[in-house]
Structure 1
Amino acid sequence: MKKLLIIGLTLLLCGPVWSQKKSKTVVAATPLRQAKNVILLIGDGMGLTHISAGMYFNNNQSQFERFPVAGLHKAYSASDLITDSAAGATAFASGIKTYNGAIGVNTDSMPVKTILEQAEEKGLATGMVVTSTLTHATPAPFVAHVRNRKFEEEIATFFLKTEVDFLVGGGKKFFDQRATDGRNLVKELQAKGYQINDFSQNAESATPPDPSKNFIYFSADGDPAKASEGRTYLAPYSVAAAKHLKQRSEKGFFLMIEGSQIDWGGHANNSDYIVSEVVDFDQTIGKILDFAAADGETLVIVTADHETGGYAINPGSELGKIRGAFTTNQHTAQLVPVFAFGPGAELFAGIYENTAIYEKMKAVLGW
């Protein structure tokens, strides 16, 4: 009887191990298609309900339906179950969990190299297009290393330490109206060879920049306007960025695009604000997917850093008319959707940590 019991326990314990080994030897891994370019689109604060509301408002149509691969990521930070944008973006940019408020630094406030910095080192062109300030909590961790997201003038100085080829966003005052040191970083960037335009010089049209120069368009002195107030630059400048970066380097490019104000609508508990920003972001996604489909060498990823508002679509909603409700005016700890299109997209299926997005981008680029 004891022998039978020992044999039974041995089979029970060893069975799963044998099964795993068998599956590894029988199932061959599909070779990963590598991408030359990566475009990461971040809908700040955008959960599944935000996407759903934008779709139902827009006659039940959405560019998200074009993605062949979807997944979920776990957005918590090193300090909190509910992350903020700074820690969330640092996870995407550098592959580490850090504390809320950290900009490109680890839990010891030490700098961590970002995927944008690595791209520059490898000779790729780089860019960012956002509807917040360029120094805000999501774009900042891709270029800066600062212990607190509130130090936007300090964050601005890091744009002099990088060679980002294409930049669009607000926050011009942090560059040329500085209280801390009186420097004019706009003039310093021009001295470095940047072609610079701003909201006072031309409308929000994506005039093709000189491909031989780095380019910046400051869309506002502080925060850019809402989409509902007439802001139109996200889609055209995102496409202009992709085309510009493709010209800038034969080795490829990395581009981050943020629909920043989806989050702001969540904080305001304003459903109409959310929907208008999601529709604007959705239109941008469509243009980028068109670029990627024609290019054939570009991986497109769309995700969010966290969900904002505990947003729900309530009874009484109809196509074209959303009745939204909220559980909070802050962030929540929901799992966050991820969508992927192009070479290596299959890596983004499943459920994983937000830091894995960094590792998956590196793998698809062949680093």
Structure 2
Amino acid sequence: MKLKKIVFTLIALGLFSCKTTSVLVKNEPQLKTPKNVILLISDGAGLSQISSTFYFKEGTPNYTQFKNIGLIKTSSSREDVTDSASGATAFSCGIKTYNAAIGVADDSTAVKSIVEIAALNNIKTGVVATSSITHATPASFYAHALNRGLEEEIAMDMTESDLDFFAGGGLNYFTKRKDKKDVLAILKGNQFTINTTGLTDFSSIASNRKMGFLLADEAMPTMEKGRGNFLSAATDLAIQFLSKDNSAFFIMSEGSQIDWGGHANNASYLISEINDFDDAIGTALAFAKKDGNTLVIVTSDHETGGFTLAAKKNKREDGSEYSDYTEIGPTFSTGGHSATLIPVFAYGPGSEEFIGIYENNEIFHKILKVTKWNQ
């Protein structure tokens, strides 16, 4: 009898154990799969640049809408302090590479980008930037070049890319080239409709197969010189164009000139650009909330300028200086980049994956993990 009791007890324990394991597995949180991904990059923006929107922008910044937040380490393969090319290639190709590299590994071999992977899955793709479209960050999503300075070669890569939509500056790299090639004609031969005068409404481009806007010879104008709502409007137009016919899409949209304000140690330039970028975040989130199937990721390739929201320096009647804690006086510690950790904000299906502290190239792998585009 004792032996029978032991056997029954073991069987009962085994059944309970199986049942318990089944319940635990069932209750584990499962990442939802987004249909679309919008990656917004604020070039040169660290936490202080982001914080400035809370002090210098009218209304509540759109950054407040995020609940899932992480941090990335931005160093390149060879340098502690990255540049935009290496930083963007980490996002676009999932690898650490040398500074100035565009879509190539540390050994200079081309690496498949997220745009190329998405296209294999019939995902529509687009890039938007307030720089030239051949500049380091946007270029890293469609081109492969040994050096970011090869912008004429990068423009040629556009003609062979999988992009369906682009908007930014850089017309000269397509039309006023050393080799005299008319790259716009090549793009048009590859089913692109090219507009060099201004953004249009969606209805006027809805029937086009592919769409490109080149709206400045070099970079787009600054916000302080009248660029207006280009970044938000172009991001919205990209969303409408790429999602037509119920297509899934990937968009990279960059606020390029936050970085340039940092390099120039020009606080008003920087702040006007980060405020504009925050508006683009609002555009992306408005679509994502309505759609319900879109993952929005907001991050930066690096911080620029060692920007600090310090207390303003004022002088007393006797000429002595003091820090006035009632007013902010932005300061800078460098004219270059810094190695500070960079925030990552995520909203929508799969956004929980972006919580934590990790390397910048993990952004690429996390996007592929939640979308399953690499399967």
Question: How far apart are the structure 1 equivalents of 2:328 and 2:88?
Answer: 29
Deviations 1:230-254 (A, max 9, x none): 102110110110111111563x111
| Contact 1:167–1:215 (CA under 8 A) maintained in structure 2 | yes
Name 1:247's counterpart in structure 2.
244
* Aligned-partner SS, 1:107: coil
**TM-score of the two chains, using structure 2 as the length reference:** 0.87
Q: Distance in 2 between matches of 1:220 and 1:320?
A: 41
CA contact (8 A) 1:57 1:320 kept: no
2:350 aligned residue: 344
Deviation at 1:256, TM superposition (A): 0.2
Report the Cα offset of residue 49 of structure 1. Answer: 0.4
Corresponding residue SS for 1:299: strand
Aligned residue number for residue 359 of structure 1 = 365
Q: Determine if the alignment matches structure 1 residue 235 to structure 2 residue 241.
A: no
CA distance, structure 2, for counterparts of residue 309 and residue 263 of structure 1: 8
The residue identity in structure 2 corresponding to 1:221 is D
Number of the residue aligned with 1:62? 61
Match runs of 1:50-199 below 5 Å: 50-59=49-58, 61-179=60-178, 181-198=179-196
Alpha-carbon distance, 1:59 to partner: 4.0
Which secondary structure state, in structure 2, belongs to the residue aligned with residue 291 of structure 1?
A: helix
Q: CA deviation at 1:41?
A: 0.2
CA distance in 1, matches of 2:122, 2:54: 38
Say yes or no: does 1:218 pair with 2:214. yes
Mapped partners of 1:30, 1:299: distance in 2: 17
Deviation at 1:55, TM superposition (A): 2.0
Q: CA deviation at 1:205?
A: 5.2
Q: List runs of 5+ in structure 2 lacking aligned partners.
A: 1-20, 314-323
Q: What is the CA–CA distance in structure 1 between the aligned matches of 2:226 and 2:298, rounded to whole Å?
A: 24
Once the two structures are overlaid, the 10-residue window that deviates more, 210-219 or 36-45, is 210-219
1:315 to 1:220, Cα distance in 2 relative to 1, 3 A: same
Match of 2:29 in 1: 30
Q: Tell me the number of residue pairs that the alignment of Structure 1 and Structure 2 aligns.
A: 341
Counterpart-to-counterpart distance in 2, 1:320 and 1:176: 52
Q: Which protein is bigger by CA-based radius of gyration?
A: 2
4+ runs deviating over 4 angstroms: 25-28, 204-208, 317-322
Instruction: Write the distance in 2 (CA, Å) between the matches of 1:330 and 1:174.
Output: 26
The CA deviation string for residues 227-284 of structure 1, in whole angstroms up to 9 with x for no partner, is 111102110110110111111563x111000000000000000000010001100011
Aligned residues: percent identity? 45
Q: 2:335 aligns with which of 329, 336, 342?
A: 329
Task: Give the superposed CA RMSD.
Answer: 2.2
Contact 2:103 2:111 survives alignment (8 Å): yes
- CA positional deviation for 1:112: 0.2
Instruction: Give me the whole-angstrom Cα distance separating, in 1, the residues matched to 2:235 and 2:287.
Output: 10
Matched residue SS, 1:146: coil
Code of the aligned partner of 1:165: D
CA distance in 1, matches of 2:368, 2:147: 27
* Match in the other structure for 1:8: none
* 2:143/2:161 contact within 8 Å kept: no
Give, in whole Å, the separation in 1 of the partners of 2:326 and 2:135: 32
Determine if contact 1:299/1:340 at 8 Å carries over to the other structure. yes
Q: Which runs of 5+ in 1 are unaligned?
A: 1-22
Tell me the residue number matched to 1:17.
none
What is the match of residue 280 of structure 2? 284
Shift of 1:163: 3.1
Are the counterparts in 1 of residues 192 and 210 from structure 2 also a CA contact under 8 Å?
A: yes
Can you list the C-alpha shifts for 1:189-227, whole angstroms capped at 9, x where unaligned? Answer: 1122211111xx34x555542344200111201111001
Alignment partner of 1:270 is 2:276: no
Q: Which amino acid aligns with 1:240?
A: L
Aligned mates of 2:184, 2:326 — CA distance in 1: 43
